[in-house]
Structure 1
């Protein structure tokens, strides 16, 4: 039986495989295509020998720290996207383009040699038997202590067992093509179907030239074509780091059906578009073209049918829950908290799942009772911290239950505020109760001005708890159909968030007071207070800090 089955050999799946290998865990990556990479795809130009990205091209160091660090960690070089020079804007089909003096890509960088270098480097670190290509996932069944996976391999059906399965694929595609037994719950199904696969219905062309003639003309290579007959709507410089291997890239304006209708004449139309924008020097370039809407392992039917809307770089938190008691995890860039749809999101999802698997393994290996080899206080605090670490998913679920209850009873005011506060108060109450059940040796624990010295350790595990929950709540509300009729709840205003945080701060203060009282009560019932700690009837903690 496999330990971890990773379905999807894109950046998320391969990054997770790398982390599992470092930890000494067994895994196998299953990829439906005959290649690794998913939406990461580079093609080599016959004209210049340059690897041109037909999938993702850029990353932004200022806002995407994970991929920035990852490129460096893998020892890959990167360079700034060329933005110097005029930006062209063609607004009428029979006129010349105008010029704009503006940068377009906001500090973006590119991987030298193409983004596929990331995939190749990760693949080089895996053994041959750790990757299986041509395996199409068609079914997953929960067996209580493991999962059964059904793959279509050529014309045969292959059945495998694994303790854990990670589906690092676009959630919307999974919802359409994979059968789950038992079926996933309705809210998770809804969240999967409502998560657009970024760029899935788009097409991209890269055009290689003998020289970067646009740079010589003082142009950046960036251009926008916005008239009704536009074929390639957004164009950019795709030269290598030195600028000697010349290319322009572009995203097509034609929707999937129109691209199919004009398939035979599309190369000529794209060439004509380039000439219209950049002049006769752009005629006859070598075209490398990728229509992602024709990729059955990327684009779902719903992605093809729906017009692409505004890109939302976060996902519904339901996509980040471990399912089937931790035996099933949903991955892929579209499940990320930040950077969903981008390389950054793929790495964030991989990191989240790696931590979840490590936590599960630790819990499975841990004997009942307190951790061994620690003092009684250190062991109790470790048990307490582990409990707190597992509460974010439970707090979000409690929020969702309270919100649904409010909607079902037709409440209309302060829905998010009340549901979030109630969920947090429930967790704080349980945390205080847990402190009562854990053994502490209070004999040598100082008390200063009525505050137990253990309070810092009690507060620390909650450091990121509120921010994580708030991020999940905001993302869930933004992606919730049920809240679309409540604009103030669907998109939380800054003032509303501040109101919620004031309530949460009051709840935090109450928890800290309660926790401190319980620790002082343990000291009262146990060993005497240390000299100089003050009388037992001294002031109780009056601040949450």
Structure 2
């Protein structure tokens, strides 16, 4: 039986496959399209040979450390997005574009030399061909107790695959609409999946290759904004290669999906004409057009994505999308499930890293089923390792406790300090359980030093909690921002800096109380071990 089935051959799925291959884990990738990459799509200009990105284009080193380090690790060259020169603004359909006083439009963005598809190709090269299955459309997922059964449609034939663990690295909203789960997922998870907009799903992107970068020669950056009512392409940018010798302009269409369909025949001419109106007649009669309408991609855009008006992009997701399901046999992935950078390349890599760690914990737990192994001959090291593993798994339980307390508060008509009280209660519950577990650990305290009333084991007891609070806070902030129930409570829906400081002070006090109590438990164990009758 397959150990891990990865559904989706986009960046998240490929990055996870790379992690698993490095650990010599058994896996396979199943992709609905006849190609890998998902929303990563790069066309090649027939006239210039330039790579033209029709999907993701940029990453931002200042705020996206994962993708920055990942590209460096793969040895893929990058270059700065061209922003130098005048920015133009076309505000009226029958007027000329005017200079716009604007700083750098793209804020330090960089691009991958040769297009983002180079990232996909590099990752795919590291995956054996027999582990990649294209044109496999997922239609059903069933929990079989000790494994998961997947049903794919392959050339109108239904094919079953069994796996111990399944990772669905696809847009959650699309999965909610197109995949059947047996048993059905819980209502909260289904709602979170349906409420997660798929980034770029309803958008369309155009890139036009030209013989020369005429705009640069005129002192223009290639950046432009078109805001009149008849705008075809609302945002335009320079899409030249790293050297600037292979010329291109790119843009995002202003037309909504239904209007793009109505104007499908004349749309190429309209897009070229608008570029010429903004940047001048030098573009007349020139240009090799490449166009991608993501709303027409059935493996990207859901019906809900197409129907909803475009809203503000929120770069984080509901934490319910990050929870392992079916006792760890099922994981939701894809960029839209990320804590930070949701919808971007960064989010896809974060999701892959999260799931890799979750699978590693599951494999460790499975290997531990036969009993507690001794690490390096030390019962203390072994016991504290188990304690650390327990703490690592408490984020979901703490978040569940937070939601339960929040729901009780809302149902009892409470209106003040909802998040503050709920998160503090969840944290205190976790600390209480941690103390109980600490009591139960088989620790040998005979040679454990005590200095100034503090057990030498305390740093190892405290260390596992380093990421616990930050993870819980990130989940709470994201949940509150995406919660319809809290939309009528502005202070709770968007936690202010001052409110967060108050919450952090409460948590700091709870942490101090836990640390003192844990130290007392360790000292009591040491005192008990030192008694002659116990030593014998």
How much has 1:449 moved relative to structure 2?
2.1
Partners of 1:131 and 1:215 in 2: CA distance = 43
Deviations 1:278-331, CA, capped at 9 Å, x for gaps:
011122311000000000000000000001100100000000000000000000
Matches within 5 A, 1:70-469: 70-101=70-101, 102-284=103-285, 285-366=287-368, 367-469=370-472
- Work out whether 1:14 is the aligned partner of 2:17: no
Contact 1:370 1:383 in 2 (8 A): no
SS at match of 1:310: coil
How much has 1:368 moved relative to structure 2?
2.3
Q: Give structure 1 stretches of 5+ with no counterpart.
A: 530-545
Matches within 5 A, 1:6-85: 6-85=6-85
How much has 1:372 moved relative to structure 2?
4.2
User: What is the RMSD computed on CA atoms of the aligned residues?
Assistant: 1.1
Partners of 1:380 and 1:327 in 2: CA distance = 26
Partners of 1:348 and 1:374 in 2: CA distance = 36
Partners of 2:526 and 2:9 in 1: CA distance = 55
Partners of 1:156 and 1:384 in 2: CA distance = 48
Deviations 1:377-419, CA, capped at 9 Å, x for gaps:
2122111111111111111111111111221222222111111
How much has 1:369 moved relative to structure 2?
2.9
How much has 1:528 moved relative to structure 2?
6.2
Partners of 1:162 and 1:36 in 2: CA distance = 21
SS at match of 2:530: coil
Contact 1:402 1:419 in 2 (8 A): yes
Partners of 1:181 and 1:483 in 2: CA distance = 31
- Give the structure 2 partner of residue 505 of structure 1: 508
Deviations 1:43-87, CA, capped at 9 Å, x for gaps:
001121111000000000111111111111111111000011000
Partners of 1:464 and 1:169 in 2: CA distance = 27
How much has 1:128 moved relative to structure 2?
1.2
How much has 1:373 moved relative to structure 2?
3.2
Partners of 2:514 and 2:331 in 1: CA distance = 33
Partners of 1:463 and 1:165 in 2: CA distance = 29
Q: Give structure 2 stretches of 5+ with no counterpart.
A: none
Contact 1:443 1:528 in 2 (8 A): no
Q: Which moved more, 1:305-314 or 1:442-451?
A: 442-451
Runs of 4+ in structure 1 deviating by more than 4 angstroms, as ranges, are none
How much has 1:486 moved relative to structure 2?
1.0
Deviations 1:427-460, CA, capped at 9 Å, x for gaps:
1001111111112222222222221121111111
Deviations 1:13-38, CA, capped at 9 Å, x for gaps:
01101111111011110000011000
SS at match of 1:386: helix
SS at match of 1:371: coil
Partners of 2:471 and 2:10 in 1: CA distance = 26
Matches within 5 A, 1:534-545: none
Partners of 2:499 and 2:394 in 1: CA distance = 24
Partners of 2:137 and 2:503 in 1: CA distance = 45
Partners of 1:454 and 1:122 in 2: CA distance = 42
Contact 1:274 1:283 in 2 (8 A): no
Partners of 2:433 and 2:213 in 1: CA distance = 65
- Work out whether 1:515 is the aligned partner of 2:515: no
Partners of 1:267 and 1:368 in 2: CA distance = 66
Number of residue pairs aligned between Structure 1 and Structure 2: 529
Q: Which moved more, 1:279-288 or 1:144-153?
A: 279-288
Deviations 1:479-507, CA, capped at 9 Å, x for gaps:
01111111111111111111111111111
